[in-house]
Structure 1
């Protein structure tokens, strides 16, 4: 067997130092393009494969960042894989499946941002999805395999995170900032919802409104609901004068809640705590021949792509989901570089996006 090429061979072939080869492989964006291309060409020609294990031993790092999203895969059915069969089986699409095709799009966008930033900084990304009682065991396991960990707020006990943070940086995604030892990355949920709700209540002069909140354990929903309540106060409306219902942040949940709303008096506006809920509301209104926005105004929150293609297009608050993922990775790498940093809190701005479901006045 031929001797495997080494980093020294790559450096000699490309005419650069070993340190430059290392920078190209770990942080390609930090190296000039023509130098990077020359090194990568040498890597390809020689068939060089860097040893992550060796790098980790030398630097006492794994060069891997962990991202923990509990329940991210819950919409994927648990089906056994039958490797003995390779048949193509026809199925009938009778349009009876009401499950959402936009499940977890929030997480997908955050994940994309984390992947982009991790690659830019020379790290790999390990993604874990835990369910029920497996969450704590999974967090402990992934913490032993990575240099830093980002988790969704309220999904892991603080005691466990404090234990993990004794060894690696921990970043909390979403939710209100707290006085703790962790770094936090979130979007401006409360002010964003307050601005949007004020536009509906004051800009459109609506008083008959229903607000569909999310699940009580959502780290973002409490802030959005607080923003809505602030808007009620801004407009001089008592909270008991409007209906506040809860759903589960899914499109199916939005459909079910819309049916409950329409079983009583039809409101002039339905404000939703996330886009998927709002898309479910739009589904039901269309099925019943209720016009949006002429009969009912509908708004969401998040800014997922599906809202740009709904009928009508969805008015929403766009939060920078990709940038949330990037900021989480940035916070982890900053603490790896300087473990003495005080806890950092990053709150990213949001934008109110007016579309046809609640148009400009």
Structure 2
């Protein structure tokens, strides 16, 4: 049968208004920050913008609007998380016609110095977790519009984050439903706000099911080099875990590989789960059960919120939380259905 349907058209301010059930003037006020709107109306408009993947055209803005330069401050670029966040941010900034100055640093002093040099080069800044402490971030927000990503809210800043605790609670509850009773968390809650929230979700799930931790959290950094320490810890007599909840997929994937090398079967001997849903997770054998977080959207919304801040919006700065989804594969003990089709991360 021949498909006679018309190709999908790019969303316009009119389709956003229809989708949200508001006037085009209201959509314009929300996106340009020209006048306050109610929180409920603003959320309807933002949900419509997200659903339709709408980005306002520069041609539709007042001529007086000047070109924006954004500073994006990352703790590093290693690992899949920051690379996908960067793609989401830069693609959206590009659609707005904005330039992005990316700052990274291996040490906190490097980042502090680089951010200090940004002050006269950009119109606003985004700070991810691990980039500047709260005191410096609060000071920076007094001179530049500031958006925080994956960090606790601060007065004077916008915050964009994901639902870490809820996703982890659902993930751990799924493990418990498989009969796992000796669960341990691999990650240091003191390292980052996201990890702290995931550990809180882990603890909440155990409490809900009347269980105790098999052992205190294995306090490792969220990178693949931590796998050796994790494997060593779960082999200790005082641990004897039958379920391992890793702070992120990078630790989980590396730990699974190392366990396999040592003759430990996943999930027969120990179930392993992660958080992020990186590409490697679906190509493991067995595939990694994890929580999918919308990292691309995290970057996209950070760019949108900073643009709003630069345009003058100072009201309605409640944290914006993006939902997460549990993705079930074989590492938790569920039947494996074979490899999944690739997902397309890049978006027009």
TM score, norm. by length of structure 1 = 0.71
Where does 1:91-106 land on structure 2 (aligned, <5 Å)?
A: 103-106=78-81
Q: 1:139 aligns with which of 115, 140, 144?
A: 115
1:60-79 CA distance string (max 9 Å, x none): 85522111012x15xxxxxx
Q: For residues 168 and 314 of structure 2, what CA distance do their matches in structure 1 show?
A: 35
Per the alignment, in what secondary structure is the counterpart of residue 109 of structure 1? helix
1:261 and 1:171, CA in 2 relative to 1: closer, same or farther beyond 3 A?
same
CA contact (8 A) 1:254 1:280 kept: yes
The verdict on how the C-alpha distance between 1:246 and 1:338 changes in structure 2, with shifts beyond 3 A counting, is same
The aligned runs of 1:192-341 (5 Å cut-off) are 192-201=167-176, 203-214=177-188, 216-239=190-213, 241-264=214-237, 266-341=240-315
Give the SS at the match of 2:332. Answer: coil
Work out whether 1:357 is the aligned partner of 2:331.
yes
**Paired position in structure 1 for 2:127:** 151
Contact 1:195–1:231 under 8 Å retained in 2: yes
Partner of 2:31: none
C-alpha displacement at 1:245, in angstroms? 1.1
2:89 to 90, 108, 114: 114
Verify the 8 A CA contact 2:247 2:275 in the aligned structure 1. yes
**Which range moves more in the overlay, 104-113 or 140-149?**
140-149
Distance 1:193 1:29, change over 3 A: closer
RMSD: 2.4
Greater Cα offset, 58-67 or 158-167: 58-67
State the distance in 1 between where 2:249 and 2:137 align. Answer: 30
Match of 1:167 in 2: 143
Corresponding residue number in structure 1 for 2:45 = none
User: Distance between the aligned counterparts of 1:151 and 1:136, measured in 2?
Assistant: 11
Secondary structure of the equivalent of 1:245? Answer: coil
Does the 8 Å CA contact 2:164/2:197 hold for their aligned counterparts?
yes
Relative to structure 1, the CA distance from residue 31 to residue 141 in structure 2 (aligned partners, 3 Å threshold; closer, same or farther) is closer
SS at structure 2 position matched to 1:342: coil
Distance 1:285 1:340, change over 3 A: closer
Given that 1:62 and 1:146 are in contact with CA atoms closer than 8 Å, whether structure 2 keeps it comes out as no
Shift of 1:248: 0.8
Quote the Cα distance in structure 2 between the aligned partners of 1:323 and 1:340.
22
1:47-105 per-position Cα deviation (integer Å, ceiling 9, x unaligned): xxxxxxxxxxx9685522111012x15xxxxxxxxxxxxxxxxxxxxxxxxxxxxx421
Q: In the alignment, what sits opposite 2:20?
A: none
1:118–1:124 contact (8 Å) kept in structure 2: yes
Correspondence 1:54-69 to 2 at 5 A = 61=66, 63-69=68-74
Structure 2 unmatched ranges of 5 or more: 1-53, 336-348
Q: Report the alpha carbon displacement of residue 238 of structure 1 after superposing the two structures with TM.
A: 3.0
Is contact 2:189-2:196 (8 Å) kept?
Answer: no
| Structure 2: distance between partners of 1:343 and 1:213 | 30
Deviation digits for residues 284-333 of structure 1 (CA, Å, limit 9, x no counterpart) = 21101222112211100111111122222111001000000001001011
Distance 1:157 1:209, change over 3 A: closer
Q: Distance in 1 between matches of 2:229 and 2:236?
A: 11
- Contact 1:154–1:219 (CA<8 Å) still a contact in 2? no
- 2:191, 2:221 within 8 Å by CA — same for their partners in 1? no
Tell me the equivalent position of 2:159.
184
- Check the 8 A contact 1:63/1:123 in 2, yes or no: yes
- Rounded Cα–Cα distance in structure 2 between residues aligned with 1:343 and 1:158: 17
Q: Is the 1:300–1:316 contact (alpha carbons within 8 Å) kept by the matching residues of 2?
A: yes
